[in-house]
Each structure stands twice: as C-alpha cells, then as structure tokens.
C-alpha cells in the first residue's frame, strides 16, 4: 500500500506542530519510493537508519516515521505490526489534528479486522473526542460492528440505525452489509417484528432469493401465515426457490393454508426433478396433500410409493380406506390385505372391516360375513363389525328371498 505524502498539506494543518525538516522528509520520501518500486525491505532499512537518529527528531518527525513504518507493514499484511506503529503515531503529542484523526480511525478499522473489539471501541472513543460531532456519522457503522461483536447488542442498535436512516433520508440505498448487521442486532435482541421490517427493506432494495425465503420464515414465526405464503409463492414465481428445503417449505405452507392441490403440485414437481429427496417423510406429505385435495388416483399412488419405504402397514391401511371411500372395492381389499400382511397396525380390526365392507359392496356376502366375524375379535372394531354383520346378514337374506321369489315365479310360469 503506497503512502502518498504531501508535506505542504501537512504544513497547513501544522498549527503548533514542529516543522518537518527537509533531511528527514527526504529520507522518508526515499523509503516510500523504494516501497512503491516493490522493494519494501529496502524501504524498511531506510526507516531504520532514520530511527537511529531518533533522539534528534521532534514529535512530528517521529510521528511521520512511525506512520511510514505502519503503512509499510500494512502493505506486507503484517497487521499486528501496522497497529503497533500507528499506535505510536498518536502517542506523540504535537502532531497535526488531521493526522491524529486519520490514524485513530485507521487503527479502529485495523483492530476490528483483527477481532480486537475492545481496542476498536477505545480508538473510536479517542477519535470522537477530537472530531467535530457532525463528522461522527463516519464511525457509526464501525462502532456498531465492534459493539455487536462484543455482544453489546443494545448499544450496537443506535449507531447502525442512525447510519441507515441518514442514508435513506437522502433518498439513497443503505449498503447491504449495514442492513445485514441491523437484522442481526434485532435478531439477537429477540425483536422478531423489527427483523421482519429490516428484511422487507432488504427484499425491496436488493431482491435476493435468500431474503425472500428468510422473510417468509419470519412471517411464519410471527403467525402471519398468509404473508408467509404470499412471500414464498411470489419467490417461487420469480424462480427464486430452487433448494429442496425451500420447495418443501412452500408445499407445507400451501398445505397448512388449506391449498392442498398446489401443495401437491409443488412437491410432486420437486420430487420428479430430484430437488427433494424421495423419502418416506416427503412421500407421506405428498399423499396428505393429494388426499386433502380429493385427488384419489394421485393420493393412492403416493401412499403406495410411501408404503414401500415403510416398515409397517399403516400407509397401506390408509390407502385401503381411501379406495373404499372411492368405491374402488377390489383395490381396497388388496390394500387392506397388504396392510395386514405387513403388520404393525394400530387398529388391525379396521382392515378386516374394510375388507368386509368392500366385499359387501361387491355383494359377496359370505366373504363379507367372514371378514366381519374376524373383525369382531378386535377391540377397535368389535362394535362396528357387529353392526355391519347384522346389516350384511339382512342384505343376504333379502337377496335370498328375492332369488326364491324369482325362482317360484319362473316355476309357476
């Protein structure tokens, strides 16, 4: 990093500062030239020679020597050494105020970069004492960053908010990292509503996919499900939702906002594209969406796919009930038997009931009665099975009487 040295400019700010003698200036300028030409070590050697005459130098000359050391070490990415020498600059008493201000501010920046947050705040405090109040805005963001890193979130809030509001009052857009910091401060303070407000600004100013998703999540935390859905849906339409988890969130939000058909559409497409893993949990969600949307074929297919990944027969049982309600009796019987074969059912008697009702719908009375008789052995189905058994017997008797009547009429004719 080259040092641009202007002796006349410094002289204007000198006030009671001692003069910078030509012989000292010429050596400092020579050191700078060597550094600019790429030979930093030679430049440092020149500075060491100047330092050998330290006892004959005044405070301003010493300050400039330390300043040049600091810049050279900074150029070598030796930040610790740079801080050490810049700190020596401001320890000198009679130096131009502009040099003291600029050095203190640079020290604060370097200390922050090194993670020395207490040092950062200390340097800024010294800087503020010698800087007019109307110029303090320059340090607001830096101060907020240091306070945030120290964990003093309440104190960090005021300077970062003032910096953002000042820029906005001029009709300008705040820097993105300022808003990121303000959002982080509000998050640490547990102020979720304010986090949402900052994210709304971030969406408006920068329109990044992650901000849409984050804002949707915050709306969800605030119980504002309709806003959450609107954010996710708009982000999806803009092509911002490409990650599997984001697509899952959209599907779940559709589902819990009573829009199951769209939930099924989004999730099915995500599964087909491989954006979402085809696992048991996701297939169960897909099945729930299609069941709620009354899409029997799609729901049956999803339940069948999920059942293949399940260790018990519960999903086959759900599919059996779904198919029975759709009057797809033979398929219902097959699904119920699959559920019983796999086992692990919470209500096994219910599957025998399904088989019985499906057989009854098919007017297979003996098979129905046999299924109801088995269902009666289970506590979860005993009462219903008894009722259906009596109904099936009555239907069978009615059918037998009709058949006898037809036979008699045929014989008499």
Say which residue, 366 or 12, is predicted with more confidence.
366
Angle at which helix 153-169 crosses helix 140-150, to 10 degrees, equals 160
Range from 88-97, 300-309, 383-392 carrying the lowest mean pLDDT: 88-97
Quick one: tokens of 43?
Answer: 């430049």
Whether residue 137 is predicted with pLDDT greater than 90 in this model: the reply is: yes
The candidate with the shortest Cα–Cα distance to 320, out of 341, 306, 335, is 335
Residue 360 CB-half CA count within 13 A: 22
Instruction: Tell me how far apart the alpha carbons of residues 64 and 170 are, in angstroms, rounded to a whole number.
Output: 38
Q: What's the average model confidence in pLDDT over 391-406?
A: 86
pLDDT at 17: 74
**Whole-number Cα distances in Å, 163 to 166, 287, 326:** 5, 51, 63
pLDDT at 10 over 50: no
Contacts of 170 (CB under 8 A, 6+ apart): none
CA distance 245 to 242: 9
CB 150 within 8 A of CB 134: no
Question: What is the rounded CA–CA span in Å between residue 59 and residue 244?
Answer: 64
119-124 — which CB contacts under 8 Å span 24+ positions? 120/146, 121/146, 121/147, 121/150
DSSP class of residue 275 equals S
For residue 5, pLDDT over 80 is answered with no
What gap in Å lies between CA 341 and CA 310, rounded to an integer? Answer: 13
In eight-state DSSP terms, residue 175 is P
What b/e string do you get for 320-330 counting C-beta neighbours within 10 Å, with b at 16 or more? bbbbbeeebbe
pLDDT in tens, 233-255: 999 999 999 999 999 999 999 99
User: Is 60 exceeded by the pLDDT of residue 11?
Assistant: no
Rounded to whole angstroms, the Cα distance separating 14 from 32 reads 22
- pLDDT tens digits along 151-207: 999 999 999 999 999 999 999 999 999 999 999 999 999 999 999 999 999 999 999
Alpha helices in 309-381 (DSSP H): 314-325, 329-342, 348-361, 365-375
| C-alpha torsion 79→80→82→88, nearest 10 | 160
Query: Going by C-beta distance under 8 Å and a sequence separation of 6 or more, which residues neighbour residue 337?
Result: 351, 355
Q: Determine the pLDDT at residue 14.
A: 41
Q: Mean of the pLDDT values across residues 323-330?
A: 96
Mean pLDDT, to the nearest integer, of 292-298? Answer: 96
Q: Tens digit of pLDDT for each residue in 117-130?
A: 999 999 999 999 99
- Written as six digits, the tokens of 208 are 């990044």
Q: Which residue has the tokens 């299609």?
A: 290
- State CA 161 to chain mean position distance: 23
Rounded CA Rg of the chain: 40
pLDDT averaged over the chain? 91
Mean pLDDT, range 322-332, rounded to an integer: 96
Closest CA to 299 of 285, 278, 280, 309: 285
Structure tokens at 17: 């500062």
Predicted pLDDT at 413: 61
Give the chain's largest Cα–Cα span.
145
Q: Which has more confidence, 7 or 267?
A: 267
User: 2 pLDDT band (50/70/90 cuts)?
Assistant: very low
Is residue 6 predicted with pLDDT exceeding 50? no
């Amino acid at each position: 990093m080259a040092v641009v040295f202007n002796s006349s400019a410094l002289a204007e700010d000198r006030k009671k500062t001692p003069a910078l003698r030509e012989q000292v200036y010429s050596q400092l300028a020579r050191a700078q030239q060597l550094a600019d030409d790429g030979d930093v070590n030679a430049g440092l050697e020149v500075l060491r020679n100047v330092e050998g005459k330290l006892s004959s130098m005044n405070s301003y000359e010493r300050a400039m020597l330390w300043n040049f050391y600091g810049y050279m070490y900074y150029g070598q990415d030796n930040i610790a050494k740079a801080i050490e020498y810049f700190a020596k600059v401001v320890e000198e008493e009679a130096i131009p105020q502009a040099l003291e201000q600029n050095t203190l501010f640079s020290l604060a920046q370097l200390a922050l970069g090194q993670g020395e947050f207490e040092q950062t705040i200390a340097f800024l405090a010294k800087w503020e004492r010698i800087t007019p109040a109307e110029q303090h805005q320059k340090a607001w963001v830096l101060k907020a960053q240091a306070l945030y890193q120290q964990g003093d979130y309440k104190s960090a809030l005021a300077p970062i908010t003032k910096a953002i509001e000042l820029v906005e009052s001029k009709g300008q857009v705040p820097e993105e990292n300022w808003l990121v910091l303000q959002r982080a401060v509000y998050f640490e303070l547990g102020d979720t509503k304010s986090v949402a407000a900052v994210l709304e600004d971030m969406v408006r100013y920068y329109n990044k996919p992650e901000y849409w998703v984050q804002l949707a999540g915050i709306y969800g935390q605030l119980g504002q499900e309709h806003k959450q859905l609107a954010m996710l849906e708009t982000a999806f339409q803009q092509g911002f939702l490409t990650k599997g988890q984001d697509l899952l969130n959209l599907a779940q939000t559709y589902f819990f906002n009573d829009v199951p058909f769209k939930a099924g559409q989004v999730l099915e497409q995500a599964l087909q594209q491989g954006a979402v893993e085809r696992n048991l949990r996701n297939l169960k969600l897909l099945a729930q969406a299609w069941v709620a949307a009354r899409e029997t074929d799609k729901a049956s297919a999803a339940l069948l796919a999920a059942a293949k990944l399940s260790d018990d027969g519960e999903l086959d049982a759900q599919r059996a009930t779904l198919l029975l309600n759709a009057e797809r009796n033979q398929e219902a019987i097959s699904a119920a038997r699959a559920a019983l074969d796999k086992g692990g059912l919470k209500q096994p008697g219910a599957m025998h009931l399904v088989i019985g009702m499906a057989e009854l719908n098919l007017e297979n009375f003996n098979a129905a009665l046999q299924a109801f008789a088995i269902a009666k052995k289970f506590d979860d189905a005993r009462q219903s099975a008894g009722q259906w058994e009596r109904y099936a017997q009555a239907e069978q008797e009615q059918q037998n009487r009709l058949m006898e009547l037809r036979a008699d009429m045929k014989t008499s004719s």
